[in-house]
Chain A
Amino acid sequence: RKEVEQDPGPFNVPEGATVAFNCTYSNSASQSFFWYRQDCRKEPKLLMSVYSSGNEDGRFTAQLNRASQYISLLIRDSKLSDSATYLCVVTPGAGSYQLTFGKGTKLSVIP
């Protein structure tokens, strides 16, 4: 089983739609979770951290289910500017200096 798995997409959605991405991770000792956004030919940028209680930032909502070892990202009222690849990222566990990246889910928001 891969450490972090994501549906590669692409997800093609119309403007204004709600879209959800899921991600599963294999290491039950993982402590921290993130969603990064990567625009075409650019570096990944931190979109939001994911907390056990769930968290929201404007149109974006992230949730964590530790029991099932999955993370989700919900985007409401999609904008053209949301088109990007969304990377699910986890820390392997206590004492690790590294993050483990999923391969990403590509989102295209269509006019």
Chain B
Amino acid sequence: SQTIHQWPATLVQPVGSPLSLECTVEGTSNPNLYWYRQAAGRGLQLLFYSVGIGQISSEVPQNLSASRPQDRQFILSSKKLLLSDSGFYLCAWSTDSNYGYTFGSGTRLTVV
């Protein structure tokens, strides 16, 4: 069966520090991968998606970036965090969006 792993679960980082969040999927190949952010009390905001290794589409211009170095690995990064980067970051995968997404358990990031 397919599983998605996301870590860490919680993170507290100072303003200006770098960020690296990792997401891996098991039990499937060539998944579509997604990074979403959910600010407190808000809806889901799509940040990046990838349909293959090295292929990244950005939905929102900001100080975040994403990379897909391996088929089932998706990384979200920042060189310098801002207070506004605080939120709940969710990784998701699908093979066909017509069947929905499966989300990882998320990383709750607080920038202080």
Task: Check if A110 is an interface residue, CB within 8 A of chain B.
Answer: no
- Asked if residues B42 and A103 are in contact (CB atoms below 8 Å), the reply is yes
* A62, chain B: closest CB distance, angstroms: 13
Chain B, interface SS category? strand
Residue B46, interface by CB 8 Å: yes
Query: A69: CB under 8 A from chain B?
Result: no
Contact with B along A65-99 (1 / 0, CB 8 A): 00000000000000000000001010100001111
**A16 contacts the other chain (Cβ, under 8 Å)?**
no
Smallest Cβ distance from A17 to chain B, in angstroms? 25
Contact B97 A43 (CB under 8 A): no
What size tier do the contact residues of chain B reach? 20 to 34
Chain B residues near A34 (CB-CB < 8 A): 100
The CA of A71 and the CA of B29, in the complex, are separated in Å by 32
Is the C-beta of B35 less than 8 angstroms from some C-beta in chain A? no
Among residues 28 to 68 in chain A, which have CB atoms less than 8 Å away from a CB atom of chain B? Answer: 31-32, 34, 36, 41-46, 49
How many angstroms between the C-alpha atoms of A70 and B42 in the bound complex? 22
A91 to B98, alpha carbons, bound, how many Å? 7
